[in-house]
């Protein structure tokens, strides 16, 4: 995939979701003027959508390369938790024929995004309509896309093969918010991949836990883990 469809609103979401894509100038402005000004003004008006789109695509290709070493998405039902605009899902769809994408995210942008551990899970930066636009305009078949608002909709009860959550579940908010729900949808073969700041905690919850990537150079040191067989 060489070029993607992107507009200003989608580029803003991408920047809020992947703050590492900010140029050095934008990062400096964020430090100088604060997070509220950044969220409300800088991320909206001082961005170049095509540049953000291109960098996002490259980053998602790398994420896909890492994850596809461990799982095969072919013909699978996939549940994405907090996927942002869905760049990873777009790349998965480009390389493999999946059955369905079920996408759960929040549907608003917080006034001032902190990016730390959010014990109340009130922080959000997504817009589900735009996720739909981004995926469809970039060629994902509409029939495969199921968008679910975490705060308003009933969460889908289905046998999922793969659950994936990058820099969302247990990175910004506790796994507890999903634990009861997972008990209803996970079977012995379901694979769950997510980034966490406390990988050892999951040894108690799952029979199999494997670290598939480590992030030691980032502000929040974390591990990407692949789990199965919930106890």
Ligand X SMILES: C[S@@+](CC[C@H](N)C(=O)[O-])C[C@H]1O[C@@H](n2cnc3c(N)ncnc32)[C@H](O)[C@@H]1O
Q: Which residues bind ligand X (CB under 6 A)?
A: 17-18, 81-84, 104-106, 121, 124-126, 150, 166-168, 172-173, 177
Q: Minimum CB separation from ligand X for residue 14, in Å? A: 8
CB closer to ligand X out of 94 and 188: 94
- Gyration radius of the chain over CA positions: 17
Q: Minimum CB separation from ligand X for residue 87, in Å? A: 6
Residue showing the smallest CB distance to ligand X in the complex: 82
Q: Minimum CB separation from ligand X for residue 158, in Å? A: 16
46 with 26: CB under 8 angstroms? yes
User: What sign does the dihedral 80-21-4-131 (CA atoms) show?
Assistant: positive
State residue 101 phi and psi, 5-degree precision.
-115, 120
* CB count in 10 Å sphere of residue 212: 14
User: In whole angstroms, what is the distance from residue 98 CA to residue 8 CA?
Assistant: 29
Q: Please, what is the Cα angle at 6 between 172 and 82, to 5 degrees?
A: 20
Q: Minimum CB separation from ligand X for residue 146, in Å? A: 14
CB closer to ligand X out of 148 and 227: 148
Q: Minimum CB separation from ligand X for residue 152, in Å? A: 12
User: In whole angstroms, what is the distance from residue 174 CA to residue 186 CA?
Assistant: 18
CB closer to ligand X out of 83 and 132: 83
Residue 163 token pair:
């659950």
* Angle separating helix axes 128-137 and 87-95, nearest 10 degrees: 30
CB closer to ligand X out of 173 and 182: 173
CB closer to ligand X out of 104 and 209: 104
Q: Where are the beta strands (DSSP E) in 64-183?
A: 77-81, 100-105, 145-149, 162-165
Q: Minimum CB separation from ligand X for residue 122, in Å? A: 8
User: In whole angstroms, what is the distance from residue 169 CA to residue 29 CA?
Assistant: 29
CB closer to ligand X out of 167 and 202: 167
């Amino acid at each position: 995939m060489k070029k993607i469809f992107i507009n200003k609103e989608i580029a803003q979401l991408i920047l809020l979701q992947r703050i590492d894509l900010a140029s050095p100038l934008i990062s400096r402005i964020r430090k100088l003027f604060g997070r509220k000004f950044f969220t409300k003004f800088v991320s909206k008006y001082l961005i170049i959508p095509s540049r953000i789109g291109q960098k996002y695509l490259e980053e998602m290709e790398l994420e896909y390369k890492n994850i596809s070493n461990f799982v095969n998405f072919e013909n699978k039902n996939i549940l994405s938790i907090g996927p942002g605009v869905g760049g990873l899902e777009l790349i998965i769809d480009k390389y493999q024929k999946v059955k369905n994408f079920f996408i759960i995210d929040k549907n608003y942008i917080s006034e001032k995004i902190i990016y730390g551990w959010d014990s109340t899970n009130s922080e959000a930066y997504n817009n589900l309509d735009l996720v739909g636009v981004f995926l469809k305009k970039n060629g994902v078949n509409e029939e495969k896309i199921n968008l679910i608002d975490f705060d308003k909709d009933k969460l889908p009860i289905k046998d999922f093969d793969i659950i994936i959550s990058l820099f969302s579940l247990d990175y910004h908010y506790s796994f507890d918010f999903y634990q009861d729900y997972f008990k209803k949808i996970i079977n012995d073969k379901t694979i769950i991949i997510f980034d966490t700041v406390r990988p050892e905690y999951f040894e108690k919850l799952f029979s199999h836990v494997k670290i598939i990537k480590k992030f030691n150079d980032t502000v929040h040191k974390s591990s990407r883990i692949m789990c199965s067989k919930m106890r």
